[in-house]
Amino acid sequence: MSTNEQMPDIEKIRSLIPHRYPFLLVDKVVSIDYDAQTIVAHKNVSINEPFFQGHFPGQPIMPGVLIIEAMAQAGGILTQLTLGRDAQSKLFFMVKVDKAKFTRKVVPGDVLEMRVRIKRVIRNMAVYECEAFVDGEPAACAEVLCAGTRE
């Protein structure tokens, strides 16, 4: 398991994936296990998120599709860091989502913890097992397939 000194900061995260505000949904990488090909990353959910203005006004809940996107972005960071040169210069697009379940609301003030594992890599595609938690309680899970393409 990597130490905090080796964890990518926000600038490194921005160099690894192309997403930018308001769609950069990973704020911090907490840990990476290169051998197990796993990552733990956080998204700090704030009332200032633009999606809260129109999604259930008066009842701010983070949309499930954005929770899945946050987990996929954590997977993209993991792929860039673990596969190195094979993944560089590729854009990874979400192609398929399977077994998605949402078990808890994610609201402003929550820290969404994403735990993602590369399940398998097939040519230019990666399958991720993704889980999201808030305060240790499961919030969502899914299996996500992303395909890489040269920029």
Pairwise pLDDT comparison (1 vs 56), residue with the higher score: 56
pLDDT digits (tens, 9 = 90+) for 106-136: 999 999 999 999 999 988 899 999 999 999 9
Task: Please tell me the distance from the alpha carbon of residue 76 to that of residue 90, in angstroms, as a whole number.
Answer: 10
Give the residue among 97, 92, 107 at the shortest CA–CA distance from 137.
107
For residue 75 the two structure tokens come to 């997977």
Catalytic status, residue 19: no
pLDDT digits (tens, 9 = 90+) for 17-51: 989 989 999 999 999 999 999 999 999 999 999 88
Using a pLDDT cut of 70, give the percent of the chain over it. Answer: 91
- 3-state secondary structure (DSSP) of residue 13: helix
- Under CATH, domain 4-150 is a member of which superfamily? Hotdog Thioesterase (3.10.129.10)
Domain boundaries, the chain: 4-150
Burial (CB count within 10 angstroms: exposed 0-12, middle 13-18, buried 19+), residue 124: middle
DSSP per-residue string spanning 80-106: HHHHGGGTTTEEEEEEEEEEEEE-S--
**CA pair distance 68, 83, nearest whole angstrom:** 22
Tens digit of pLDDT for each residue in 54-92?
Answer: 878 789 999 999 999 999 999 999 998 987 655 555 788
Q: Quick one: average pLDDT of 93-110? A: 96
Contact 138, 131 (CB under 8 A): yes
Instruction: Please give the Cα distance from 107 to 46 (Å, whole number).
Output: 8
- The single residue of 14, 28, 42, 55 carrying the catalytic annotation is 55
What pLDDT, on a 0 to 100 scale, did the predictor assign at position 85?
54
DSSP element (H, E) containing 2: none
pLDDT of residue 123: 85
Q: What 3-state class would DSSP assign to 18? A: coil
pLDDT of 148 over the 70 cut = yes
Indicate the SS3 state at residue 68: helix
